[in-house]
Structure 1
């Protein structure tokens, strides 16, 4: 599975976890240097709190 944005691969793994049809990448498969925090916070009853 690959996550591509603007033609750049930002995550790639054969070990994603699928929950309710959504793929979740292992942390070590994400190119974090290409990401920036947005300040947005969300809460999911299954996954808990997250910051984006």
Structure 2
């Protein structure tokens, strides 16, 4: 079971993550939505498509754009459509 943890809080946990380029992508139904706030940030990947971001908020502490996902993907990235990955100090561990 993989867990995404920040500020001593489990943000997501799943045994069905998909690993791409060293990042664990968590299924959308595995995240604890109360800690996620939509961000206006977007980036582009040549083979995955346009990423959207979440700011993580735990006990009033924010980690801006610490999670990303692809609401729509290019063909090669279809398996991770809607899945969420983490960075910026979020620990992903078994």
Structures share a fold, TM > 0.5?
yes
Normalising by structure 1, report the TM-score.
Answer: 0.88
Select the structure with the greater relative contact order (CA < 8 A; seq sep ≥ 6): 2
Q: Please give the secondary structure, in 2, of the residue aligned with 1:46.
A: coil
Query: Which of the pair is proportionally richer in strand?
Result: 2
Normalising by structure 2, report the TM-score.
Answer: 0.52
User: Is there any run of 5+ residues in structure 1 with no aligned partner, and where?
Assistant: none
Residue-pair matches, total: 52
Find runs of 4+ consecutive structure 1 residues off by over 2 angstroms.
none
Aligned to 1:40: 41
User: Is there any run of 5+ residues in structure 2 with no aligned partner, and where?
Assistant: 54-94
